[in-house]
Chain A
């Protein structure tokens, strides 16, 4: 639905050049919620603004629903933009218009006749649950309600794609949850493809099907959330299941086991202990509900060096679990350096192993 190829955007200011987006490739499939995760300055906002050409890329292609946007003329681009909804961190509402007036704005821009406009506005306000606030001004409603207006407005032209620019970053946790739920719901009910950018791991956890992690203008990791979590050394996994630095003791093997769905319900630790008559030491772990499936990560310690545990590790892998082995004290090289930061996905130092 959205295809970004070798996208580059450089800002030039008086002798200084900053490459905000540095050769990004990204594919957002129809009907999915795709999150771009990164800390501020990573280039994710510029990337998003390049999708509807609020920023003109210096190089690369941006295809939305098969249409090459940078190639369009002014009028064609305006018409194309009407089919791409966008919501903003600070809402971007007209303070001089009521809630209904704000939702009517894009319809006016599109030249929808007045009677039809009123009907569509009522429909949209109902969709986001703001019917009773139709006549209020933005200054009179809460942040969450303002974002609902933003969402209603973005959907006015029945877009297939919604771009979300840190839409929940200015909201408190409860409001964030309700807005994310609304987006999830719209994604399912309307088949709306959503491309969102965020610096919050929580947003990815709650609604994203796929994710790309951005740093210094580049995508360092991307793919379906589930796949990334099961991939050894994934930054996303470390971000979602923050575990402290493993304390490696000689003669033991420390293993991170990631399990999903059924695996979360099966007592693989006790099975392992019983089958091989070993003591399994649990060092830490967490279970999260991600995109409707339970995914968990457990750090366990097995007696003996990794080569002694080959059968045990194979047993875990055969059970459909993703296994990541940390080195023992003897062979630290090659061990994935687990970052202690709680949000390593956006940490500059965490290398991808």
Chain B
């Protein structure tokens, strides 16, 4: 394959990978944060202690975490089809990507929120802050560096998963690597994809680190 043949394919693949990653990150950030907050709120001694709900949520998260992405992706094909009308393509891949990343990020959110000084929460309570105010203005705000660091890890995991999504027709760089690098022995293509993936992960990690540094005031 010549360089000129490769470039349009690589551009298309990168775009699809970015598309999958960005959308699934967005949904994961929302869903994972919500689930993580619920995990912390409902635990014994939390702001809204409902141990039963906490146990159920914890179990759901653990189940989600124990399924390997490739298997989850295939197992939920009917669900994906019902949701987006197809199980093939970039859009369809976003569904399993999000579903597998939410429990992962939820645990990271839970950890980050637990790091918040309980003394600050008590101080806010003593000031007459409501539960909602404590969640928004204290917990999520104080945990921001941890939340962003966790999201960075999640985005990088999603880039990796999105490559696997290529295996069942999800598109993106993973799909290119399988079709050209693996099935047609196009070593040049494989190398170019590797370089792109490495560069992508480096950029994400650097941006994440920078954001964490700017948010940390300790």
Contact = CB atoms under 8 A, between A and B. Distances in A.
A108 B142 contact: no
Band of interface residues on A = 20 to 34
Chain A interface SS verdict (over half) = mixed
Given A94-B120, A108-B137, A79 B144 contact: no
B142 A92 contact: no
Interface in B94-142: 117, 119-120, 122-130, 133, 137-138, 141-142
Contacts of B217: 95-96, 137-140
A34 B144 CA distance: 39
Interface string B178-218: 00000000000000000000000000000000000001011
Residue from A84, A86, A96, A105 having most chain B Cβ neighbours under 10 A: A96
Nearest to B118: A92
A78 B128 contact: yes
A94 B142 contact: yes
Nearest to B140: A96
Residue from B125, B128, B130, B142 having most chain A Cβ neighbours under 10 A: B128
Contacts of B141: 94, 96-97
B215 A96 contact: yes
Residue from A81, A88, A93, A109 having most chain B Cβ neighbours under 10 A: A109
A233 B149 CA distance: 60
Residue from B126, B128, B142, B218 having most chain A Cβ neighbours under 10 A: B126
Contact of A78 (B123, B130, B215): B130
Interface string A57-78: 0000000000000000000011
A88 B218 contact: no
B126 A54 contact: yes
Chain B interface SS verdict (over half) = helix
A280 interface: no
A284 interface: no
Given A95-B217, A96-B144, A109 B120 contact: no
A231 interface: no
A46 interface: no
B142 A81 contact: no
A91 B218 CA distance: 15
B37 to A, nearest CB: 17
A90 interface: yes
A81 B117 CA distance: 21
A347 to B, nearest CB: 29
Nearest to B127: A106
A196 to B, nearest CB: 14
A138 to B, nearest CB: 7
A311 interface: no
A52 B137 contact: no
A95 B119 contact: no
Contacts of A92: 117, 119-120, 122-123
B172 to A, nearest CB: 36
B122 A105 contact: no
A307 B128 CA distance: 62
A79 B129 CA distance: 9
Contacts of A140: 217
A8 interface: no
A193 B68 CA distance: 61
Contacts of A82: 127-128
A86 B126 contact: yes
A329 interface: no
Given A81-B125, A93-B120, 10 more contacts: A77-B128, A86-B123, A88-B123, A92-B120, A92-B122, A94-B141, A96-B144, A108-B133, A110-B128, A157-B128
10 contacts: A78-B128, A78-B129, A78-B130, A80-B128, A82-B127, A94-B120, A95-B218, A105-B137, A109-B133, A153-B127
Interface of A: 52, 54, 77-82, 84, 86, 88, 90-97, 105-106, 108-110, 137-140, 153, 157, 163
